[in-house]
């Protein structure tokens, strides 16, 4: 098993940049895997990917130094077990709202030797049994990220983040802003205060704060103290590139429906 350089980077207080993969064709991670991003998150909560498809997408990254991660659909022992067995180097786990939720997330990711509940049958993750050191190192190498996306999670933040084994507190801005009653108002004082609280409490717990970024705000979030930062998603990257290219064509104007974030 490769050592998880993303975990090392975060522990050293450095920012780590990746993107989310929602397009289910192996060409996407194969192409983007040449760019030098630290990680991809294959999304199976809101994305259309099946477990079989994510395995194929990870296999397409064989020549890339980028680490594959995965967002599971739910904080569920069976879903997490199946996800880890196809070989990602970490999981993003949604809707973690309490200490118990966080403890369960860690238990589901770790084997009993580390106090966890993960069943023993890693298949591809252990190179089909050929990786003899897999069980010795996996619990240290798997990155565990919990999503902070509700007002309830904010109230329980210290209890969540001080659970041993949590590596990343990842903010979903859309869900969090909706839960706080300021949907998509990312400059609203209530939302801004929530981000400051997450950064402060994550740092105190030696957990890396992370957030889903746009192309326009990622540097601001890094300067603010966020470490595990997504450079939007594969879809947005392709849209942005296409719109920027087409803006260079004389006489061409973007459709009024084109997302404003891509037109700056």
Give the length of the chain. Answer: 264
Rounded Cα gap, residues 186 and 253, in angstroms: 28
Rounded Cα gap, residues 120 and 190, in angstroms: 44
* Cα 63 to Cα 26, 36, 57, 232, distances in angstroms: 13, 12, 12, 23
Residue found under tokens 């105190």:
204
Q: Which residues are catalytic?
A: 46
Q: What is the DSSP letter of 130?
A: T
Q: Which tokens belong to 104?
A: 């369960």
- If we measure between CA atoms, which residue out of 10, 11, 15, 12 comes closest to residue 219? 15
Q: Largest Cα–Cα distance in the chain?
A: 65
């Amino acid at each position: 098993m490769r050592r998880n350089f993303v975990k090392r980077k975060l522990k050293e207080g450095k920012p780590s940049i990746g993107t989310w993969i929602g397009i289910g064709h192996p060409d996407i991670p194969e192409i983007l895997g040449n760019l030098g991003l630290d990680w991809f998150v294959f999304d199976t909560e809101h994305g259309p990917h099946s477990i079989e498809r994510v395995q194929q997408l990870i296999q397409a990254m064989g020549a890339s130094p980028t680490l594959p991660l995965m967002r599971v659909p739910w904080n569920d022992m069976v879903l997490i077990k199946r996800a880890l067995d196809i070989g990602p180097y970490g999981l993003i786990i949604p809707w973690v709202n309490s200490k118990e939720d966080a403890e369960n997330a860690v238990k589901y990711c770790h084997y009993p030797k580390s106090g966890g509940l993960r069943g023993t049958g890693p298949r591809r993750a252990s190179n089909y049994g050929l990786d003899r050191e897999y069980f010795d190192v996996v619990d240290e190498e798997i990155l565990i990220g919990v999503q902070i996306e509700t007002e309830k999670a904010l109230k329980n933040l210290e209890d969540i983040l001080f659970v041993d084994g949590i590596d990343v507190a990842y903010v979903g801005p859309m869900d969090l802003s909706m839960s706080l009653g300021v949907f998509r108002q990312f400059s609203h004082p209530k939302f801004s205060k929530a981000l400051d609280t997450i950064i402060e409490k994550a740092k105190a717990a030696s957990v890396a704060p992370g957030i889903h970024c746009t192309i326009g705000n990622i540097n601001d979030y890094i300067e603010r103290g966020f470490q595990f930062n997504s450079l939007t998603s594969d879809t947005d990257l392709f849209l942005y590139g296409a719109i920027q290219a087409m803006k260079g064509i004389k006489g061409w104007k973007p459709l009024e429906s084109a997302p404003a974030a891509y037109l700056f």
